[in-house]
Amino acid sequence: MNQISPPDSSANLGVVWHKGKALRKGYTTGSCATAAARVAALMVLRQQVINQVSIVTPSGVALFLNVEQPLIEGQQASAAIRKDGGDDIDATHGMLIYARVSLNDGGVIRLEGGEGVGRVTRNGVGLPVGCAAINKTPRQTIEQAVRDVIGPNRGAEIVIFAPEGEERAKKTYNDRLGIKGGISIIGTSGIVTPMSEESWKRSLSIELEMKRANGLEKIILVPGNHGERFVSQQMSIDGDYVVTMSNFVGYMLQETVRLGFRHVVLVGHPGKLVKIAAGIFHTHSHIADGRMETLISHLALMGAPVELLQAVDRCDTTEAAIELIAERGWQAVYHQIARKICFRVDQMLRFSSDKPKCDAVMFSFENQVLGSNRPVSEIVEDFR
């Protein structure tokens, strides 16, 4: 069995190698809540403060965690575990996750979320509306950890709370997922493996799943906030249709196929979207660039003069290239690039038996439409 020790012990948390770097593993909010509940139950039974607790995560890793703020009050006790995300630093890293356990003779264990734990307000996240945002696996591990301590006949009231949760949740996607008032208690394995892109992609995918669960068959994917504002303000389309894809274009398109969306629109600044026309489906600069080369090749195909091609090649930013192209009157290139984007998407999804219709819209930093594969008015009409 693997073991992970607390960050202030002499033992290492364990590492995973990624791109030649050793990255330290951590543990989830679900593991913290489970450990806090277990030690609180132990303290009630023993009537003794305990400063370290062990649990076994769903993935079979044994954690030995330091206990903070242990408190016993008769048949009730509380304790906290500090979240450690390892080298996968997120909004909950370093915060205290508390559990309060009260024993009774009822035989039933009841679990609830308290201060700083969010509430589900919309369908689509796998929990009933009104329920505390404690996911299925942590619910099971928390309840089982307490049951193992108190035996088969006693009952317990468990409250998981996180005083910093409401503030920390502002840095997460919870609000967009309809989880209000705090963080989520999550984790399927109990361990955080520091591949932050994977967890980030999954959080974006969850939003797609929620939209689909609410009956949407059409979706607009944008790189970030600027795209969201453009869709709302310039295209006058309801924000419920919009999901952020960040740099993970290919992944999110594959997720739209998995979830059965019928129509996908990519909306963004050419600084991101032009890469897709070159077949680049992860648009972060550390993966690939090709922006100027893509602009140049499409301008050349349209017959643009060599002088313009050379000037674009010297540009350091897409925005500088956009200004040059506008000065010389070659803005029609964006329509061609938008059509190529849709072609690339169609090629990437060509083995899908039921791929969605695709549109692409590019806009400037001044919020003006630069180009689209078909008239924007037609695309907008599809969302009426």
Mean pLDDT for all residues in the chain: 89
pLDDT beyond 90 at 18: no
Residues 161-210 have pLDDT tens digits of 999 999 999 988 788 778 999 999 988 788 776 655 776 787 788 889 99
Query: What is residue 123's predicted lDDT score, i.e. its pLDDT?
Result: 73
Contact of 218 with 263, CB cutoff 8 Å:
yes
pLDDT tier for residue 1 given thresholds of 50, 70 and 90: very low
Query: What span, in angstroms and rounded, lies between the C-alpha atoms of 119 and 318?
Result: 42
Compute the distance between CA of residue 95 and CA of residue 29 in angstroms, rounded to an integer.
9
User: Which pLDDT score is estimated for 5?
Assistant: 46
Once rounded to an integer, what is the mean pLDDT over residues 339-361? Answer: 94
Percent of the chain at pLDDT exceeding 70: 92
Q: Give the pLDDT confidence score for residue 226 in this predicted structure.
A: 83
Residue-level pLDDT at 201: 83
Per-residue three-class SS string for 212-228: HHCCCCEEEEECCHHHH
Q: What pLDDT digit, counting tens, does each position of 52-98 carry?
A: 999 999 888 899 999 999 999 999 999 999 999 887 667 899 999 99
pLDDT score, position 10: 27
Neighbours of 70 (CB within 10 A): 19
What pLDDT shows up at residue 375? 96
pLDDT value at residue 11: 36
Which pLDDT score is estimated for 124? 63
Burial category of 334 from C-beta neighbours within 10 Å (exposed 0-12, middle 13-18, buried 19 and up): buried
Question: Is the model more confident about 319 or about 115?
Answer: 115
Q: pTM higher than 0.85 for the full model?
A: no
pLDDT tens per residue across span 298-316: 999 999 999 999 999 998 7
Domains, the chain, in order of start with CATH, read 3-194 (3.30.2110.10), 197-381 (no CATH)
pLDDT band of residue 235 (cuts 50, 70, 90) is very high
Dihedral sign, CA of 308, 314, 320, 321?
A: positive
C-alpha distances (whole Å) from 206 to each of 172, 255, 349 are: 13, 10, 21
CA distance 273 to 280: 9
Q: Is 103 helix (H, G, I), strand (E, B) or coil?
A: strand
